[in-house]
Chains A and B, each alone.
Chain A
Amino acid sequence: MKIRTERSTVLFNTIGYVLISLFALLCLLPFLLVLSGSFSSEQEIIAEGFKLIPDQWSLEAYRAVFSNPEQIFDAYRVTILLTLAGTALGLFLTSMAGYVLSRQEFKYRNSLSFFIYFTTLFSGGLIPWYILIVNYLQLKDSYLALLVPVLVSAWNIILMKNFMKSIPESIPESAKIDGAGEFTIYLKLILPLSAPSLATIGLFMALGFWNDWFMANLFITTESKYPLQFLLYKILASAAVLKTSIAGNLSPDFKPPAETLKMAAAIIVTGPIVFLYPFVQRFFVKGLTIGAVKG
């Protein structure tokens, strides 16, 4: 038997769908504007501003960007490898730390937790941190400088610890009776049970690595080692410098990148991820809700 739908429900649904569609369209607009901007001619943008449908289509910006494609491929390579390696390694370290801190048998877990927590409130500041990484660890211009400083965060460890606390103490205990060692317990029992938190924190980390430009900004001096976001930021920054007081000292033929070039760079840098996201997203959502309906 079909359930009859009330007229008010139909009306409600219609309005809802219309509103949501409109809203979705609004969210798409900026992307479309960037896209069409990247295909516009420079002169038109200066004279008439950005348009959704340019009068004059032009591939000039993309030609300019791809006149040196290695730069972009290099950046993609760095960012992808960094994100993969960073997330895997970071998750491993964070979950180990979280596990140890969550175990009742560990006598100093509270003081150690506080020690970790303390660093989120007070830190040495930028310069001592920079000195540590450059002068003592000698990581200047090394890929490790992109990885190590962001690998483990206190916040994630605490998150992980709190989640693992909810795993009953009797589970590791039973495994111990069956003769499992500490590492086996962690690997075979705790990790699978922590899948939801691993997914959440993994997502945080992956996004963090993907979006990070600050490390590269400070530590990387070789152009081929630039990650993607920094490359994009660099392109935009050379335009921004014109707005500062140095502008007067720049050589007269210093030209900022064209508006269209900026748009094209944004498309090339973010495009693949934007297109990838809808397909990958469902895994994230699944991961996040796994633990939600546990009795």
Chain B
Amino acid sequence: MSKKTIGLLMTTALLATALAGCSGNGNGNGSGGSEANANAGAAANSGSGEAKAIDTSKKVELVWYVLGDGHADSPKIQDQINAMLEKDINATIKLNFTTWNDWQTKYNLLLTSGEKVDMVFASTWADYYKFADQGAFKELNDLLPTYMPETWKAVPKQDWDEATVNGKIYAVPSTYPEYTPDGLVYREDWRKELNVPEIKDLDSIEAYLDAVKTQKKVTPINGKAWNEVFTLFKAYHGYEQIGGDSGVIVAKSYDAPRDIVNYAETPEFEQFVKRMKTWSQKGFWTSDTLSSQKEAGDALKAGTGGAYWRNAPGAGGFIVDAEKTNKGTDYAYFPFTRFHGYAMPTLSVNNAMAVPKSSKNAERSLMALEKIRTDSRYFDLLTYGIQDTHYSLSDDGKLAISPPKGKENDKNFKGYGITSWGWRVTSLAKEQQAGGWTEFPALMEEFKAESKPNIFAPIIMDYKPVKSQQAAVNQVIQQYGMPLMMGLVPDVDKALETYRKQLKAAGVDQVLAYVQEQANAYFDEKGIQ
């Protein structure tokens, strides 16, 4: 009975979302421009005097939202922040967390319902470009120089450009350059022990996995292996997805970004899935890998797995943690960027803070953000918690170390960590990227040396004209594409033929045409050939 009620609720909710989706978008588009303009105008007028003349006589309470979970001590930290904020700009912040359940739904509701919110986390992977395009955020061009003068000057122009949609800035990007290419974490000690050549290409990966399987008698990718194989596929051929997850539609290479194809039709794909079939037969992953709920990383840590997909900073954190728990093990990392010889930095708006259109206190909200981004008292409190309760400073004062002194062995200590990504600034950050992994700086140098601007992620795509085709294509990828990629089909040739046919029937060509059109428009605008 209880299951039924939950089921019913969820179905209704789903239906409701489906029904409500269209109307919400329409509203956003309609009224966005005029109101934003009016506000900007007013702000420009009030800000035309001296910067010092900002009127903060009226006390306001700002409502902020960030993703993820709070910490048990979040209310305490909020009080401390507010004590300072009240003195400085006569405002207080109510910091809300979306929690991770259904955060997309909630995030959508926050932005489409017109709820009074003064600042939210924004990101490319939380549809920043789409929401900005629809007018969900307030445009900040006129407000920034007045209310965030230091940030306005400090953030590089490239970063502002990446936050610009239709000529307007809608978010304050974090200033925390990162490279997050995909790659593989593996057991370096096993590789040496088994006399396998150093990992530097697909053949050496295969040799390593094979040795782990046959000699260590361990399933190399023990758990969900889709990410490992799919990212390997993309990187090996230099395929780039466009505007986030674009399914089977990829640009064939960085140098020819306008050459956009459906990868399932390429001979490279055919070769690759044939190879994956042999990998699957050799038992590099289990036959239930697509339905498995196990993280391959857990197995790798426990010594029952041999490889795990991570991005570079994530790999660092993983390796540091794994080597700490399992003394005497040695892990290494192979970034897939070495297949094609370039790395793309994440966009500045990969993490950002934006002001929703409904906010009545955009000015004060920006001033608060300016404080957090420039004053280390604010930044540390909000990002790392209370000193000596949640962290202690290293001797040179440059690092926040958690757990703090005296609590290293306290089992009940819960580290403070919220999604502070939106306001991260390198100059204030007191943490090492990748969890202090010793090999990370060298890797960063490698990425920096081969860095190329990210030209694929900022392409705005909402798939509106091809919504049903896109849904059908995704269904086909799930049903036919994934088993094929993982070599879980009895006859590769036949499965490939079915897959291609099903994709066509689902309307992959319309989706491709749409993506091509959006990409061309973007490349034309930016002058990329």
Chain B nearest CB: distance from A36 CB in Å? 18
Name A127's contact: one of B24, B318, B320 (CB within 8 Å).
B24
Digit string of A239-252 for contact with B (CB within 8 Å is 1, else 0)? 01111011111111
The listed residue with most B CB atoms (<10 A of its CB), out of A212, A238, A248, is: A248
Are B112 and A127 in contact, CB atoms less than 8 angstroms apart? yes
Q: Given A211-B6, A233-B101 in contact, is the A126-B411 Cβ separation under 8 Å?
A: no
Are A131 and B114 in contact, CB atoms less than 8 angstroms apart? yes
- Which residues of the partner chain B approach A208 to less than 8 Å between Cβ atoms? 5
Digit string of A208-225 for contact with B (CB within 8 Å is 1, else 0)? 101111100110010100
Name A218's contact: one of B106, B314, B316, B434 (CB within 8 Å).
B106
Q: Given A129-B16, A240-B100 in contact, is the A245-B113 Cβ separation under 8 Å?
A: no
- Which residues of the partner chain A approach B313 to less than 8 Å between Cβ atoms? 252
Are A242 and B414 in contact, CB atoms less than 8 angstroms apart? no
B70 on the A face (CB < 8 A) = yes
Identity of the chain A residue whose Cβ is nearest the Cβ of B432 in the assembled complex: A252
Are A67 and B414 in contact, CB atoms less than 8 angstroms apart? yes
Q: Given A63-B411, A249-B350, A252-B313 in contact, is the A217-B303 Cβ separation under 8 Å?
A: no
Identity of the chain B residue whose Cβ is nearest the Cβ of A238 in the assembled complex: B100
CA distance A67 to B116 in the complex (A): 35
- Which residues of the partner chain A approach B69 to less than 8 Å between Cβ atoms? 234, 238
Are B20 and A126 in contact, CB atoms less than 8 angstroms apart? yes
Name A223's contact: one of B2, B70, B311 (CB within 8 Å).
B70
Are B109 and A126 in contact, CB atoms less than 8 angstroms apart? yes
Are A123 and B350 in contact, CB atoms less than 8 angstroms apart? no
**Among B258-266, B293-301, B485-493, B495-503, the stretch in contact with A:** B293-301
The listed residue with most A CB atoms (<10 A of its CB), out of B10, B16, B299, is: B16
Digit string of A78-93 for contact with B (CB within 8 Å is 1, else 0)? 0000000000000000
Name A67's contact: one of B10, B113, B412 (CB within 8 Å).
B412
Name B113's contact: one of A124, A131, A213 (CB within 8 Å).
A131
B202 on the A face (CB < 8 A) = no
Chain B nearest CB: distance from A12 CB in Å? 31
Q: Given A135-B115, A214-B13, A252-B316 in contact, is the A130-B417 Cβ separation under 8 Å?
A: no
- Which residues of the partner chain A approach B256 to less than 8 Å between Cβ atoms? none
A46 on the B face (CB < 8 A) = yes
- Which residues of the partner chain B approach A126 to less than 8 Å between Cβ atoms? 13, 16-17, 19-20, 105, 109
- Which residues of the partner chain A approach B224 to less than 8 Å between Cβ atoms? 243
- Which residues of the partner chain A approach B201 to less than 8 Å between Cβ atoms? none
Are B16 and A43 in contact, CB atoms less than 8 angstroms apart? no
B245 on the A face (CB < 8 A) = yes
- Which residues of the partner chain A approach B19 to less than 8 Å between Cβ atoms? 123, 125-126
- Which residues of the partner chain B approach A144 to less than 8 Å between Cβ atoms? none
A134 on the B face (CB < 8 A) = yes
B329 on the A face (CB < 8 A) = no
CA distance A204 to B69 in the complex (A): 31
Chosen A-B contacts, 21 in total, with CB atoms closer than 8 Å, are: A46-B298, A47-B302, A67-B412, A71-B72, A126-B16, A126-B105, A128-B23, A130-B109, A131-B115, A134-B113, A135-B115, A237-B102, A238-B68, A245-B125, A245-B245, A248-B180, A249-B123, A252-B317, A252-B318, A253-B317, A253-B435
Which 5 A-B residue pairings sit nearest by Cβ, starting from the closest? A252-B317, A125-B20, A126-B16, A237-B101, A127-B20
Chain B residues within 8 Å of A, Cβ to Cβ:
1-2, 5-6, 9-10, 13, 16-17, 19-20, 23-24, 68-70, 72, 74, 96-97, 99-103, 105-106, 109, 112-116, 123, 125, 180, 224, 245, 295, 298-299, 301-304, 311, 313-314, 316-318, 320-321, 350-351, 411-412, 414-415, 417, 421, 433-435
